[in-house]
Chain A
Amino acid sequence: MVTVYSITNCPWCDKTKKYLASKGVEFEVRNIEENEDFAKECLQLSGDTMVPVTTVDGKNFVLGFDKAKIDELLAG
């Protein structure tokens, strides 16, 4: 399952979600402003709380919206 760490008002998070949706990819959104555990997970994963962070396996991730890198991540 793809996970996107995001915040409530974030144009690049929205773009990432729209991109995944346009490719028919199912994903879970984890809002780090609303849930402290999600914020800790995001920090542990990327070393920062900058969003969006997209991950498939909880290990490899893409910080920000980068279409090529997200495609690479999805391709595994």
Chain B
Amino acid sequence: MAKEQVHKDIVIIGAGMAGLTAAMYAGRMNLDVLVLENGIVGGQIANATGIENYPGFISVKGADLISTLQQQAENFGAVIDEFDTIKKVTLRENPKIIETEEKIYLADVVIIASGMNRRKLPLPEERKFAGCGVHYCELCDGHMYNGKIIAVMGGGNAALDAANFLTKYTDKLYLIHRSEFRADEVTQEKVRQNPKIEIMLQTEIKALHGAGKLENIDILDKKSGETKNIAVDGIFVNIGVVPNTELFKDELKLTASGRIAAGEDCKTEIEGVFAAGDVREKEIRQLTTAAADGTTAALLAEKLLRNFSKKEKA
């Protein structure tokens, strides 16, 4: 049976901070807006246990911030579909075509806010231990390691926050990072003050061992060149992110890092296609800049739609 075709003023791909902000603004301008999300509404920040650098909040859980923003967007008429999956996009036609498992959406404007995913642990044993020793969501899987030994891999804010969070389950946590921390000073200080965390800088995980479940790991001390084996039940990997641009690689120019090339106006090389949030190539990627991108993309999209409308009338 042929898929149903549905027209939308704007289709937003991704329901993270950028996508939901764009949806809220577009909804407020009475545009017919659909947000498609393949993963979790909220994206990366859905897992954030305490955000302390979003203006107006002393500290807020990522899930709570996103839930409120989702409600704001929906109150203004935006529809968020998190159960349909995008199969293909065709952006160089007008209207643009977004084909999902269930429908074909024809959109005058597309805002790509597909964000990023956590980078996988680059070891051959990763697949063997994924879900039974190697994890990427401390909020979801941390409880599996109550009273056990945990390692967190990474040196950014997200990794250090994860380490602090996970000490609610364990008395022994190794924080393993290949160089010096990139996290801000406030977050670093929290980790240094946490007696349950053993910081291991200039170290790298070289191998994972265990029968069925993870039991121990080999760690290389890059300064001494020595490798030692330590008992670890679970590793939470937080070693950066990769942009979600696979769907767009044949349609849009991607940068060397795999992000979408677009300026501060979020406009891509294709008229009517915007890139917003972490998926856009830019120097600073924060929640606040994602919200700013969503705002910019939605307002300029509305302006473009008005111009389309004027041309049609003329």
Contact = CB atoms under 8 A, between A and B. Distances in A.
B42 interface: yes
A50 B144 contact: yes
B40 A19 contact: no
Given A11-B40, A11-B47, A15-B82, A49 B140 contact: no
Given A15-B40, A50-B131, A10 B140 contact: yes
Q: Which of A10, A11, A49 has the most CB of B within 10 A?
A: A11
B40 A12 contact: yes
Nearest to A9: B139
Given A9-B63, A10-B140, A33-B143, A19 B132 contact: no
Nearest to A10: B140
Interface string A63-76: 00001000000000
B140 A18 contact: no
Interface in A8-52: 9-13, 15, 18-19, 22, 32-33, 48-51
Interface residues of B, number: 17
B147 to A, nearest CB: 13
A12 B140 contact: yes
B254 interface: no
A62 interface: no
Contacts of A11: 40, 42, 46-47, 63, 137, 139-140
Interface in B104-156: 131-132, 137, 139-141, 143-144
A7 interface: yes
A49 B139 CA distance: 14
Given A11-B46, A12-B40, A19 B83 contact: yes
Nearest to A64: B131
A13 B63 CA distance: 13
A12 B137 CA distance: 10
Contacts of B131: 48, 50
Contacts of A33: 143
Given A13-B140, A15-B82, A48-B144, 9 more contacts: A7-B143, A9-B63, A10-B139, A10-B140, A11-B42, A11-B47, A49-B144, A50-B132, A50-B141
Interface of A: 7, 9-13, 15, 18-19, 22, 32-33, 48-51, 67
Q: Which 6 A-B pairs have the closest CB atoms?
A: A11-B40, A11-B46, A10-B140, A49-B144, A9-B139, A7-B143
